[in-house]
Amino acid sequence: MKLIILGSGTILTQHARNCSGYLIDDRLLFDCGPGIWRALGMAATDPAEIDHICLTHFHVDHVSDLQAILMTRWLTGLKKVPLAIVGPQNLPEWFGYLKKLHGPWIDDLNLKLYPADRSIRINDRLEIVPVNTEHTEYSQGYLLKSDGESSLFYSGDMDFNTKLIDKVRGTTVGLLEASNTEETKIEGHLTPRLAGRFAQRAGFQKLILIHQYPEVLEIDAVEEAAAEFEGTIITAEDGMTIEI
């Protein structure tokens, strides 16, 4: 399985990274933050191959480029390719706002909405399982299963959540947010150290740190996470391709 990091940053501009966007096997996109639609073009990825987009929550740093994707579909033949959009249970309500804002063409884009409260099979091999992250009322992360094995857990935004540990236990790779340092930690987000603790307790083999605010880029986030996690740790950077 191939993971391309389209955006590993936050809404702040100081570190010149795109916001959240993670592409699996050129067809499954986790989140659509500002900058990732253009990054897809830079990665020479064919947008017609993307048939599933999974949104974790509706904070702008995770969803704003979905509007760019929708407009591209409206203007081009891309709308001939069916696209499934998976999201929190208030996904239809959020789309209702988009329609009010942009107009009825939103209904004519060959989309299928899945306000997901259960797993969704993408093909014979891949299945996505939404898990509640409690970052916002309906926010969810995604556990990606490949041939029945838990391969990847994408946190979206989340705080340290012990209820989640059992649900994602034994996953190979954790793609976990690490927004703040221990000194600047805010509720609803992890630090590198807490990401390491979560990865260790969940028995991950590899931890990829994402969604880091500028102050985290000034510390050794890998060393911080390594104080709690014995597996492999890397810090994501935009444009990275990682084999899972």
| 59 or 206: CB nearest Zn ion | 59
Q: CB–CB of 238/212 below 8 Å?
A: no
Alpha helix ranges (H) inside 13-59? 36-42
Stretch that binds Zn ion, among 66-74, 106-114, 153-161, 224-232 (CB under 5 A): 153-161
Segment holding 67, helix H or strand E: helix 60-75
Interface with Zn ion (CB under 5 A), residue from 65, 157, 228, 238: 157
Residue 61 touches Zn ion, criterion: CB under 5 A? yes
Burial 175-211 (b: 16+ CB within 10 A, else e): bbbbbbbeeebeebbbbbbbbbbbbbbbebebbbbbb
Total residues at the site for Zn ion (CB under 5 A)?
3
| 59 scored as a contact of Zn ion (CB under 5 A) | yes
Closest Cα to residue 134, out of 114, 162, 153?
162
Decide: helix, strand or coil at residue 206. Answer: strand
Q: Which of residues 60 and 227 has its CB atom nearest to Zn ion in the complex? A: 60
In this complex, which beta carbon is closest to Zn ion, that of residue 35 or of residue 145? 35
Q: Which is nearer to Zn ion, 61 or 224 (CB)?
A: 61
Q: How far is the CB of 158 from Zn ion (least distance, A)?
A: 9
Amino acid at 139: S
189 contributes a contact to Zn ion by CB under 5 A: no
In the region spanning residues 64 to 123, those forming contacts with Zn ion, defined by CB under 5 A, are none
Token pair for residue 14? Answer: 């100081």
Which range in 74-82, 157-165, 193-201, 233-241 contacts Zn ion by CB under 5 A? 157-165
| Positions that interact with Zn ion (CB under 5 A) | 59, 61, 157
